[in-house]
Amino acid sequence: MRQLSLFTILFCLFLTNLTAQPAPLEKEQSLSKIDRIYYTCKVWGFLKYYHPLVSRGAFDWDDKMQKVLGFTSNFQTHAQLSDYMARWIYNLGAIKPCTSCQPAPYDPFLKNFDLSWTQSSVFTDKLKETLKGVEENRFQGDHYYIGQGKIQEFEPKNELPQQDLNWKDENQRLLPLFRYWNYIEYFYPYKYQTEQSWDDVLKEMIPKFLAAKTKLDFHLAMLELVVKVDDSHAGFMTPTLEQMPYYNYLPARFDMIEDQLVITEIIDEQKAQMADLQVGDIIKTINNESAIDLHDSNKKYIWGSNESVKNRSLYHTLFMGIQGPVQATIERDGSTKTTSLTLYKYADLTYTKTGPKAKWTTPSDSIGYVNMGELVVGDVDQMMGELMDKTVIIFDIRNSPRGTYRAISKYLNPSDTIFVRYTKPDYTYPGKFVWQGEASCGGDNPDYFKGLVVLLVNENTQSHAEFTCMCLQTAPNVVVVGSETAGTDGKVSRFALVSRLYTAMSGIGVYYPDGSETQRVGIVPDIYVEPTLTGIIEGRDEVLEKAMEVAKEQIAEEMAAFQAALAKAKMDSIAVLDSLALLDSMRMDSLQMNTLPMDSLGIDSLKVDNRNGDN
Amino acid, single-letter form, for residue 92: L
Q: What does DSSP say about strands 501-506 and 417-425: parallel, antiparallel, or unpaired? A: unpaired
> What's the pLDDT tens digit per position in 273-329?
999 999 999 999 999 999 999 999 999 999 999 999 999 999 999 998 888 899 999
**Exposure of 237 by Cβ count < 10 A (0-12 exposed, 13-18 middle, 19+ buried)?**
middle
Q: Which of the residue ranges 105-119, 397-411, 535-549 would you say has the lowest mean pLDDT?
A: 105-119
Residue 78 has pLDDT above 70, yes or no: yes
**Residue 344 DSSP class:** B
Percentage above 90 pLDDT, the chain = 78
Q: CA 258, 259, 260, 261 torsion: positive or negative?
A: positive
Residue 588 has pLDDT above 90, yes or no: no
Query: Strand pairing partners for 329?
Result: 285, 338
Please tell me the distance from the alpha carbon of residue 469 to that of residue 412, in angstroms, as a whole number: 13
Whole-number Cα distances in Å, 196 to 47, 228, 230, 353, 476: 25, 7, 9, 41, 38
Count Cα atoms within 13 angstroms, Cβ side, for 175.
Answer: 27
Torsion region of 317: left, alpha or beta (phi above 0 gives left; psi -120 to 50 gives alpha):
alpha
Q: Would you give the end-to-end CA distance of the chain in angstroms?
A: 158
The answer to whether 291 and 281 have CB atoms below 8 angstroms apart is no
> What's the pLDDT tens digit per position in 332-362?
999 999 999 999 988 899 987 777 889 999 9
Instruction: Name the CA dihedral angle for 582, 584, 586, 592, rounded to a multiple of 10 degrees.
Output: -150
> What's the pLDDT tens digit per position in 222-247?
999 999 999 999 999 998 988 876 67
**HEC per residue, 161-183:** CCCCCCCCCHHHHHHHHHHHHHH
Whole-number Cα distances in Å, 599 to 137, 543, 591: 117, 86, 17
Q: Residue 54: phi, psi to the nearest 5?
A: -65, -45
The answer to whether 220 and 236 have CB atoms below 8 angstroms apart is no
* Whole-number pLDDT of residue 493: 94
Cis peptide upstream of residue 24 (ω within 30 degrees of 0): no
* Whole-number pLDDT of residue 580: 66
Cα angle vertex 420, ends 417, 425, to 5°? 145
| DSSP secondary structure letters along 449-497 | --SEEEEEE-TT--THHHHHHHHHTTSSSEEEEES------SPEEEEEE
Please tell me the distance from the alpha carbon of residue 280 to that of residue 331, in angstroms, as a whole number: 9
The answer to whether 313 and 244 have CB atoms below 8 angstroms apart is no
Alpha helices in 405-463 (DSSP H): 405-412
Count Cα atoms within 13 angstroms, Cβ side, for 249.
Answer: 23
Cis peptide upstream of residue 245 (ω within 30 degrees of 0): yes
Please tell me the distance from the alpha carbon of residue 490 to that of residue 485, in angstroms, as a whole number: 14
> What's the pLDDT tens digit per position in 512-532?
999 999 999 999 999 999 999
